[in-house]
Amino acid sequence: MPTAHWRNALHESMAFIRHSLKKQNAHDIHSPFVFDLVTKVLNDERAFGVFDRIESERRLFEANHSYVDFKDFGAGSRYAKNGKRKIGEIARSTLQPASHAQLLFRLVNFLQPKTILELGTSLGITTSYLACANNKTKMISIEGAESVANLACALSEKLEIQNLKIFSGTFDQLLPLALEELKFIDFALIDGNHRYEPTIHYFETILHHASTDACLVFDDIHWSAEMEKAWLKIINHSHVTLSLDFFDFGIVFLNNRLAKEHFVLAIP
């Protein structure tokens, strides 16, 4: 009997083939807003000054052989196990690749949201990219594993990030508090409990606090059949107007001035 890990790996491989066959390029895009996103976000090759600093911290994490207590509260990463784990192992298995994190930096820089919510801080690398993209943005990030959240807080202090708060605890406990403090959500990254019901629950909860042109990002949308099912439900929701499928993550916009469209794209 195949394990859940192997079932997910097989599903993801098949999903990647389907994604590759559907992938669109700039010539297929007629939406002015999406064309702007492609030219000004995806095709932006500028290396912002903070990139090197954050990537230097990533390399330090990857080379760190110290152990920390690690508890996975959801379906977790594809390699996560509860108990003692090396910081380097956490860095290599859970952090967004630089290309993805930098794309999200450019997206925040382009959209200029007033508030950001992140579910799943991990070691704080992507968190730092999001917070540094606009230092006027108020950002809250939630991480379930306290020891990992402490490392992310230390990174935030080291990078002198002033517009970020990191909460440690379960999403179910802390999401209402974060939403109460932020009041409304302009931008959210959901990268935590990789299961259908929690993902839909977080989406619907955030939806009640989302601004009229909010942008929501969901990680690992093709990681499993459950996550793919959640992604399909989200993009077909009546409040979602535009969706972008980058395979590893998906982006939806709630802007009702945009036409209901779905695009399958690749990160350059």
Structural domain includes residue 186: yes
Pick from 71, 130, 102: which is nearest to 267 by CA? 102
Per the structure, the count of domains in the chain is 1
Torsion, Cα of 27, 31, 37, 40 (10° steps): 70
Owning domain of residue 150: 4-64+96-264
**Who wins on pLDDT, 205 or 74?**
205
Tell me, yes or no, whether 80 lies in a domain: no
Residue 234 lies in a domain: yes
- Residue 250: inside a domain, yes or no? yes
CA distance 258 to 247: 22
CA 86, 87, 92, 95 torsion-angle sign: positive
Q: Are the C-beta atoms of residues 210 and 254 closer than 8 Å to each other?
A: yes
- Residue carrying the six token digits 């192997």: 6
Question: For residue range 215-263, what is the model confidence (pLDDT) as tens digits?
Answer: 999 999 999 999 999 999 999 999 999 999 999 999 999 998 998 999 9
Q: Is residue 117 part of a domain?
A: yes
Distances (CA, A) of 1 to 4, 6, 10: 10, 10, 14
Helices (DSSP H) in the chain: which residue ranges? 4-22, 32-37, 49-62, 87-94, 98-111, 125-132, 146-158, 171-182, 196-207, 225-235
Q: Which CATH number characterizes residue 48's domain? A: 3.40.50.150
Residue 214 lies in a domain: yes
Kindly report, residue by residue over 121-160, the tens digit of the pLDDT: 999 999 999 999 999 999 999 999 999 999 999 999 999 9
Assign 95 to helix, strand or coil: coil
Cβ–Cβ < 8 Å for 103, 129: no
Q: For residue 75, is it within any domain? A: no
Looking at the domain assignment, is residue 87 inside a domain?
A: no
Question: How far apart are alpha carbons 232 and 237 in whole angstroms?
Answer: 9
User: Residue 76: what pLDDT?
Assistant: 47
pLDDT tens per residue, range 176-222: 999 999 999 999 999 988 899 999 999 999 999 999 999 999 999 99
